[in-house]
C-alpha cells in the first residue's frame, strides 16, 4: 500500500509539471518567434480599431490583430472613432504585415505598416489606442 501511495504521488507531480510546461510553451514560442515574418497583403475590411482582414498574395484571407496596441471596443467611448480612422489609413491598400505570433483567439498578431507608417504608432499618436507594453516593448 505504501509503494502505491508513492507511485501516485510521483505520477501526480509529473502530471502537474507537464501541465505547467504545456501552459508556458505557447508564450515562450511566441516570444521566440518575435523575429517577424514579413509579407504584403491587401486590406479587405476593418472590424474595429485594432482588427482587420487582409488578402495575402496567394488569395488566402487572414484576420489580423494589430500588435502593440489596444483600441477601444466599438461600444466603448471613442471605439467608433478608432474604427473609422483605421480604414482611412489602410482600407483597400497594400500593407506590409510583420507577423509576431497569434493571439488567444487565433488571429495573426502583426505590426502593420503602409508606406513606412507604423499603423500602431499612428493610432497611439492620434489618441485612439493605447500602447500595450505587456506584449510589445520594441518602441517608445
Q: For the purposes of burial, counting CB atoms within 10 Å of the CB of 57, is it exposed (0-12), middle (13-18) or buried (19 or more)?
A: exposed
Q: In angstroms, rounded to a whole number, what is the distance separating the alpha carbons of residues 88 and 97?
A: 17
Q: In angstroms, rounded to a whole number, what is the distance separating the alpha carbons of residues 130 and 48?
A: 14
Active site (annotated) includes residue 31: no
Question: Could you say which of 55, 63, 102, 107 is catalytic?
Answer: 107
Question: Could you say which of 55, 63, 73, 102 is catalytic?
Answer: 73
Active site (annotated) includes residue 107: yes
Written as nine digits, the cell of 90 is 489602410
Active site (annotated) includes residue 83: no
Three-state DSSP state, 135: coil
Question: Could you say which of 65, 83, 100, 111 is catalytic?
Answer: 65
Residues classed as catalytic: 65, 73, 107
Amino acid at each position: 500500500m505504501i509503494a502505491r501511495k508513492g507511485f501516485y504521488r510521483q505520477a501526480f507531480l509529473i502530471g502537474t509539471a507537464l501541465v505547467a510546461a504545456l501552459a508556458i510553451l505557447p508564450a515562450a514560442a511566441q516570444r521566440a518567434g518575435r523575429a517577424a515574418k514579413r509579407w504584403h497583403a491587401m486590406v479587405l475590411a476593418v472590424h474595429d480599431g485594432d482588427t482587420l482582414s487582409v488578402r495575402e498574395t496567394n488569395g488566402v484571407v487572414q484576420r489580423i490583430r494589430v500588435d502593440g496596441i489596444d483600441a477601444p471596443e466599438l461600444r466603448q467611448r471613442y471605439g467608433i472613432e478608432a474604427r473609422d480612422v483605421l480604414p482611412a489609413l489602410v482600407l483597400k491598400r497594400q500593407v506590409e504585415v510583420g507577423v509576431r505570433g497569434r493571439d488567444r483567439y487565433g488571429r495573426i498578431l502583426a505590426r502593420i505598416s503602409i508606406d513606412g507608417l507604423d499603423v500602431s504608432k499612428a493610432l497611439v499618436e492620434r489618441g485612439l489606442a493605447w500602447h500595450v507594453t505587456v506584449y510589445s516593448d520594441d518602441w517608445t
